[in-house]
Amino acid sequence: MDSHEQLHRTLRAAAQLLDSAASQIRDLPLHPTRENIRLVAEALAITFQVRRNVEVELPALAKHHPEPIEEDRAANKRLGDALVAADDMAEGRSNAEAAVFLEHFARQESSAFHRDLALLEAGRYRLRDEA
């Protein structure tokens, strides 16, 4: 017989697989890239909602994460905006331009974590041009 714990683990695995699928769609790219990623995001959101429903029935499964501080929220927004802009550049112009944009963003970013993420993504854009 299935349990709440087993369903919770299954939903966590499903979310990880969907996240990986979104990355693969972006990296291929699978056209229409934005629409395909949006569809995967919708499935991911539904998965999170069902997982949350399980946590309501069995609160012990819920992990309690502290709310991010304002500085982290701001860095998340800056990085998110930069990634969207880079994606627009890559679709409309070139991967190299998107990489340069993210490298410039990283030089100005105060958060080391977000700077590293931007540089990682810039490297992915550069690899696409080499392929």
Banded model confidence at residue 64, pLDDT cuts 50, 70, 90: low
Predicted local distance difference test score (pLDDT) of residue 101:
96
Predicted local distance difference test score (pLDDT) of residue 73:
83
Helices (H) and strands (E) in the chain, counts: 5, 0
> Does residue 68 carry a pLDDT above 80?
no
Predicted local distance difference test score (pLDDT) of residue 66:
65
- Characterize 96-126 residue by residue with b for buried, 16 or more Cβ atoms within 10 angstroms of its Cβ, and e for exposed: eebbbbbbebbeebebeebbebbbebbebbb
Residue with tokens 């080499």: 130
Give the span between the Cα atoms of 114 and 105, in whole angstroms.
Answer: 10
For the segment 34-52, what is each residue's pLDDT rounded down to a tens digit?
Answer: 888 889 888 988 999 999 9
Give the span between the Cα atoms of 63 and 83, in whole angstroms.
Answer: 28
Predicted TM-score (pTM) of the model is: 0.56
Q: Average pLDDT of the chain?
A: 87
